[in-house]
Amino acid sequence: MFLVISTESSEQESIRRCVRAIGSCLLAPESTEGPYYWNSTVRNDITEGKAGVPFRLTVTVLDTATCSPLSDALVDIWHCDAEGIYSHYIASSLGQNTRQTDNSTFFRGQQVTNKQGIAVFNTIYPGWYRGRATHIHVKVHVDASLTNINGAIYAKGGHVSYTGQIFFNDTLTDEVAKRSPYTSHQIRRVRNNEDGIYSRSKGSTTIVPVQFLTANGFNGAVKGDITLGINPNTVSTESGRPGGRPPPPPPGR
């Protein structure tokens, strides 16, 4: 359970978010989808009980044509676990030269934006892996429809208007790296300015501001709010490999 330490009322918080959104009425830079995308389900909590610093991510989607919040868009995120492993591609994440996939789904999920253009996810502060700075992948689907299959909600149809990556402040990640299970990493962590994808996609504009939700710092929970300006009438130019299957794993996945 998240306990937000704040003196703001809900109305003040809404005003602050709107002001931030208006200031972000520009197209968010796109970035490569990467090889580890796989369709997920609509759900708020994507942790599946896996360990890490609890992180609440709020994504506000803005229509840059009108500078208005974009409701009913499907925000789709995925990231590695605290030890740098992607679900559905565990073998490849471990560096095995294989295209084998699996049925795991941790740290993948989708949410439909509300009237304020907001989608919220409960996850963890992501880990990292060889060749890449700490990041979260994100897509925004427009005009998708939802269907319930055996209690799980899936999206289909529509089109992807945005594909990008969200990054983190290196100093904060330095602190996270001192905590278990992140300490299990045996590789040197790549910093933002060393990551070619971060540089090419203007990653400094999509660094998510992080706030503590408890008085315990990173021993408690954190949250991050980010606004993404998109053109819902366009189709993203950053398409992934068919089916999301990766090639044999390169040094930086």
Mean pLDDT of 168-190: 94
**Strand 222-230 and strand 159-167: pairing?**
unpaired
Residue 192 pLDDT > 70:
yes
Residue 8 pLDDT > 50:
no
Residues in contact with 240: Cβ distance below 8 Å, sequence separation at least 6, in sequence order? 33, 34, 35, 37, 163
pLDDT at 242: 33
Q: What is the pLDDT of residues 106-115, one digit of tens each?
A: 999 999 999 9
The CATH number corresponding to 28-230 among 2.40.40.20, 2.60.130.10, 1.10.3370.10, 3.40.50.970 equals 2.60.130.10
pLDDT at 147: 94
Range scoring the smallest mean pLDDT among 48-57, 82-91, 124-133, 243-252: 243-252
pLDDT at 123: 98
Longest pairwise C-alpha distance within the chain: 52
pLDDT at 240: 61
Residue 195 pLDDT > 90:
yes
Distance CA 212, CA 137 (A): 22
The reported pTM is 0.85
Mean pLDDT of 191-201: 97
- Find, among 25, 19, 21, 16, the residue nearest to 230 by Cα: 25
pLDDT at 94: 82
Could you tell me the pLDDT band of residue 201, with boundaries at 50, 70 and 90? very high
- Find, among 106, 240, 65, 79, the residue nearest to 166 by Cα: 79
Mean pLDDT of 246-252: 37
Q: Where are the beta strands (DSSP E) in the chain?
A: 54-63, 68-69, 74-78, 108-112, 118-124, 135-142, 145-149, 152-156, 159-167, 210-212, 222-230
